[in-house]
Amino acid sequence: MDKSPVLRAEGITKRFPGVVANNRVNFDVHAGEIHALLGENGAGKSTLVKILYGFYQPDSGTISLDGRPTPIRSPREARGHGIGLVFQGFTLIPALTVAENVALFLSKLDWYISPKKLAAQIQEASRRYGLELEPKTPVWQLSVGQQQRVELLKLLLTRARVLIFDEPSKVLAPHEVDTLFGIFRDLRNDGYSLVFITHKLREALTCADRITVLRQGQVAGSLNAQDASEEKLVELMFGEPLKEVATRERGSKFGKPILELVDICTRAVGTTPALRQVSLTVHEGEIVGVAGVSGNGQRELGDVILGLIKPTTGKKIFLSQEATAWPPARMIGQGVAFVPEDPLAMAVVPWFSVLENVALLSPKRFSLYGGLGMAWDKARAVARAGFERLGLNPLPERARAASLSGGNLQRLVLVRELSRDYKLVVGLYPTRGLDVRSANAVRQAFLQARAAGKGVLLISEDLSELFALSDRIVVMLRGQIVGEVRPDQTSLTEVGRMMVGVGHG
């Protein structure tokens, strides 16, 4: 390409207390190009795109647009220059409707907002790209996957030339990722510049024209997609080759049932699906996988098990005791470890430190003098042992949870939950947002739990993960369990078909 890049960043350095997030990073993107930014968790990808979007100011380095040095002092300026960013944690406002959230980002909005006109505009764009969004729905009623579509819609309706996505596939089901990448390609062909962050090699290889790999805040390498291969990228990302997660023999002898759900139904709230006649049993020493496109009742299933929502009919039996009406505190106390879908909102107190969050759920275990003090040393030891057992790099104990990246938050929650004395672990997308190595460590931890006779309910969209780990897989669609299979007797495509409701053949 002989034209100068649309956007070029040179020698970008950004320090945060204790870390150099970006160290003399060079990065550029041309018109009509998809550029993947690849790297492990904490490699500095998010920081880099936030600098390009003016959300952070670099400590040094320059950014040029169309070859002219242009400082970007705020997101507003970035948007003025035609740069749009979809954040990893979305920037939607839950209390506002889809239409209002989109309108906030429209640069050429009339002073008077006609709800009808706006809705028509949104529906048109939404239909053209198959986003299926109802303009009047408040955003708090949408699933994570739907929320991303709102974010996408926002960029499509603003006249941005450079579209940046911070881990767009993280919240999507496999077939939604394909759709998204299809849209990426259409946009590229229309001359847009696209940048997306990922830590999945396959995504970078299938979708990008060019791939830049970041490692520990520095550019480890940048290559064209046709010159790249999985091995090359892995080498750049980690500096060492990785072992695949071991698939193990599947037993069919399990212990006593730990959790039994019998004909559970719930009431639908807003647009969230209701559970309908869900029956499910998890035995000791068994991993039950729940496959499904997110937003088909998985969150509600987890909420029912934890006791956050009460079923309208049906029974929940935990450790042979009727537990239908138990509040979350009792479920947790009796041995449920829970990794929710959105850890920042549901599992941690954002302004508590890592250590405080670890101690949060077991205050009695770490209490001193009958509750008048806290045994922080003990909590620290438990946290350290937890990170070690899971094979994860420990997190800084004093860092506030809110300051952690998505992957690190997920690690914090996993370590805390699996360090307690539990009988059943319920994981909603537990490896989402984790890099390959951490994800494998988590999978190993689930296998260890299984070997120790615990029950595991693994809710995931990663089919290969479900196939590698599960003893049984149930498939959820629109709040119902539409199928139950043994991974060694079925195929990925069949489960995939059940997930989207195409025949059972």
Partner 1 sequence: MNGDWFLSWISGAILYAAPLLYPTVGEVLGQRTGMVNLGLEGLMLLGASTSFALSVRLGNPWVAVFLGAGVGLLANLIYAFLVVKRNASQLATGLALMFFGLGVSALLGKPYVGQMAAALPKYPLLGPRSLLFRYDLLVYVAFLLAALAWVFLFRTRWGLQLRAVGENPAHAYAAGISPARVRLAAACVVGFLAGLGGAQLALGVTQTWSEGMTAGRGFIAIALVIFSRWNPLRAIVGAILFGGAVVLQLQLQARGIGISPFFLDMFPYVLTLFVLLLWGRGVRHTAPASLGRVYFGTEERGG
Q: Which of 16, 71, 136, 206 binds partner 1 (CB under 8 A)?
A: 16
The number of residues in the chain equals 505
| Residue 271 engages partner 1 in binding (rule: CB under 8 A) | no
| Cβ 107 to partner 1 shortest distance, Å | 8
Stretch that binds partner 1, among 96-104, 421-429, 430-438, 439-447 (CB under 8 A): 96-104
Tell me how far apart the alpha carbons of residues 455 and 301 are, in angstroms, rounded to a whole number: 16
| Residue 95 engages partner 1 in binding (rule: CB under 8 A) | yes
Q: SS3 for 9?
A: strand
Nearest in space to 34 (alpha carbons), one of 197, 158, 154, 176: 197
Tell me how far apart the alpha carbons of residues 36 and 42 are, in angstroms, rounded to a whole number: 16
Q: SS3 for 215?
A: strand
| Residue 196 engages partner 1 in binding (rule: CB under 8 A) | no
Tell me how far apart the alpha carbons of residues 415 and 428 are, in angstroms, rounded to a whole number: 15
Stretch that binds partner 1, among 173-181, 225-233, 245-253, 397-405 (CB under 8 A): 397-405
Q: Which of 7, 9, 12, 21 binds partner 1 (CB under 8 A)?
A: 21
Biggest CA–CA distance in the chain, Å, is 72
Q: Which residues contact 17 (CB under 8 A, 6 or more apart)?
A: none
Distance of CA 10 to the CA centre of its chain: 30
Q: Which of 403, 444, 480, 490 binds partner 1 (CB under 8 A)?
A: 403
Give the x-and-dash track for 36-55 against partner 1 (CB under 8 A). --------x-xx--x----x
Contact set for partner 1, span 50-89 (CB under 8 A): 50, 55-57, 74-76, 79-80, 87
Select 20 or 205, whichever has its Cβ closest to partner 1.
Answer: 20
DSSP secondary structure letters along 443-479: HHHHHHHHHTT-EEEEE-S-HHHHHHH-SEEEEEETT
| Cβ 100 to partner 1 shortest distance, Å | 6
Give the x-and-dash track for 100-139 against partner 1 (CB under 8 A). x--xxx-x-xxxxxxx------------------------
Query: Do residues 274 and 261 touch, judged by C-beta distance below 8 A?
Result: no
Query: Do residues 7 and 72 touch, judged by C-beta distance below 8 A?
Result: no
| Cβ 170 to partner 1 shortest distance, Å | 15
Name the residues that contact partner 1, by CB under 8 A: 14, 16-17, 19, 21, 44, 46-47, 50, 55-57, 74-76, 79-80, 87, 91-96, 100, 103-105, 107, 109-115, 399, 402-405
